[in-house]
Amino acid sequence: MTWDAYYRGDGAVRADTPLPAPPPWRRFPSRPAAEVFRPPVGLIDAVNAALALRRPLLITGGPGTGKSTVIEQVAAELALGPVLRWHITSRSSLAEALYRYDALGRIHAHRLQQERMRPGDEGGRDDIASFLHLGPLGTALLPSSRPRALLIDEIDKADLDLPGDLLDVLERGEFRIAELMREGQDAAHVRMWDTDARHLVENGHVQCTEFPFIVMTSNGEQELPAPFLRRCVRYTMPKPTVALIREVVRGHLNMEVSDTGPTADLVDDFVRRVAAGESVAIDQLLGTLHLLNGPARSEGVERERLIGLLMKDLSGA
């Protein structure tokens, strides 16, 4: 195995040792995912239906199947701008996705102002907008000439109440910033999620003019409420086939998979494992093929050991 050219575990310093070139998808700045993603059968129809109906697209499937990649391609093809991202955990809330108010920061700034004042000075009123920051969903709902693209990743990991709360905002396409309304601020320039640029918010009210293109992903770990599902266009990623995996390998590694041989056997085994219900991802396979056909060329026991290391079932420890 050619690993001997790199780390050897003997403690000797080799400052001039060149490291192997990274795989294409781990080179930075990274190659746009839109260039290599190949949508499976039916996904194009689902995307266009969601665009036409102004409904969120809910994509269900296993890890590494490209659920979160499709929005990159759609945003690139339709010039929707950088993709906004909201990664869901069990602690995620609708409020933080709309906007965040730094009350403690405002109090601290007010105290500093008071400390710097000289006797007889009149304290100026602070700008509450400086302590507001729109979240990914709040930014996506700003009025615009073209819809923004928003990824809500792993919606099935949310608290049980979040889908219902989210549904109300998506149905109305609007929300209000309570702090601006409470202080009667008619106009405020609030910072957006993905940039330092600010957007004018009038009377504390944000109303979209173009409903954002929203992709929500789910691993199927939790059942979502029927009213929520009814308002989504739903698509389930198909199980990978040998033909599909060969196309993915060609796109990512610029490698042709022959009908027979070690690489074909590895692809066939991957498809068989997924069909049997094992949790293995396409990026695991791509990484394995990259190493076995490059920095870690090997045969026999060494090859099998490396495959075992990289192709572990994701549901295990």
Judge whether 16 lies within some domain: no
Judge whether 116 lies within some domain: yes
Place of tokens 């308002």: 231
Judge whether 306 lies within some domain: yes
Judge whether 2 lies within some domain: no
Radius of gyration of the chain (CA): 25
Q: Could you tell me the CA-to-CA distances from 229 to 92, 212, 234, 270, 289 in Å, in that order?
A: 19, 18, 8, 31, 38
Closest by alpha carbon to 131, among 201, 69, 189, 89? 189
Q: What CATH number did the domain enclosing 179 receive? A: 3.40.50.300
Segments in 2-132 forming alpha helices (H): 43-53, 70-77, 94-98, 103-116
* Distance, CA of 128 to CA of 125 (rounded, Å): 9
What is the residue range of 220's domain? 33-236
Are both 143 and 248 inside the same structural domain?
A: no
Closest by alpha carbon to 136, among 123, 125, 145, 149? 149
Instruction: Out of 206, 236, 266, pick the residue that ends a domain.
Output: 236
Are both 108 and 212 inside the same structural domain?
A: yes
Q: Are 211 and 248 in contact (CB under 8 A)?
A: no
Judge whether 10 lies within some domain: no
Are both 251 and 202 inside the same structural domain?
A: no
* Distance, CA of 118 to CA of 134 (rounded, Å): 35
* Distance, CA of 193 to CA of 84 (rounded, Å): 8
pLDDT tens sequence for the chain (317 residues): 567 778 889 999 989 988 888 998 888 887 777 777 889 999 999 999 999 999 999 999 988 788 999 999 999 999 999 999 999 999 999 999 999 999 888 888 878 877 777 665 555 567 899 999 999 999 999 999 999 999 999 999 999 899 999 999 999 999 999 999 998 889 999 999 989 999 999 999 999 999 999 999 998 888 999 999 999 999 999 988 999 899 889 988 989 999 999 999 999 999 999 999 898 999 999 999 999 988 877 778 888 999 999 999 988 75
How would you label 215-243 residue by residue, b for 16+ Cβ within 10 Å and e otherwise? bbbbbeeeebeeebeeebbbbbbeebeee
Q: Which pLDDT value is given to residue 103?
A: 85
Phi/psi for 19 (5° steps) reads: -90, 155
Judge whether 4 lies within some domain: no
